[in-house]
């Protein structure tokens, strides 16, 4: 088995073991007053726009082809994805 195939298999094993073993995250935040809620939502929107812009900027410039910058582009993409899923979880009230 080549080194690359071994890395992919270990990565898949780690990914699926974490995916299927996770329980309740309990990572939502309750806000007492509306000022805190608004500033928190605005911060999420600003962070989402910044990560999407950064990811597109790296891809458009071709920097994502370099190994280190490629990992940073992937991290910006996953931070954007995380940001959207946290807002969806807040919107549906999970976990209450």
DSSP-assigned letters across all residues of 61-90: HTGGGSHHHHHHHHHHHHHHHHHHHHHHHH
Q: Which two tokens stand for residue 25?
A: 């995250």
**What was the pLDDT predicted at 57?**
92
Q: What's the pLDDT band for 96 if we cut at 50, 70, 90?
A: very low
Q: In this structure, how many other beta carbons lie within 10 angstroms of the beta carbon of residue 83?
A: 19
Residue 15, burial from CB neighbour count under 10 angstroms (0-12, 13-18, 19+): exposed
Higher pLDDT, 90 or 17: 17
Per-residue pLDDT tens digits for 36-81: 778 878 888 899 999 999 999 999 999 989 989 999 999 999 999 9
Question: What per-residue confidence (pLDDT) applies to 26?
Answer: 63
Q: Identify whether the C-beta of residue 77 lies closer than 8 Å to the C-beta of residue 86.
A: no
Average pLDDT, the chain: 81
pTM exceeds 0.85? no
């Amino acid at each position: 088995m080549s080194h690359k195939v071994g890395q992919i298999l270990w990565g898949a094993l780690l990914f699926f073991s974490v995916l299927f073993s996770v329980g309740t995250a309990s990572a939502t935040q309750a806000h007492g007053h509306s000022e805190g809620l608004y500033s928190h939502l605005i911060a999420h929107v600003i962070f989402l726009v910044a990560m999407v812009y950064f990811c597109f900027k790296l891809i458009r410039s071709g920097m994502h082809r370099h190994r280190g910058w490629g990992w940073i582009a992937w991290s910006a993409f996953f931070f954007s994805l995380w940001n959207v899923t946290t807002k969806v979880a807040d919107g549906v009230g999970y976990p209450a």
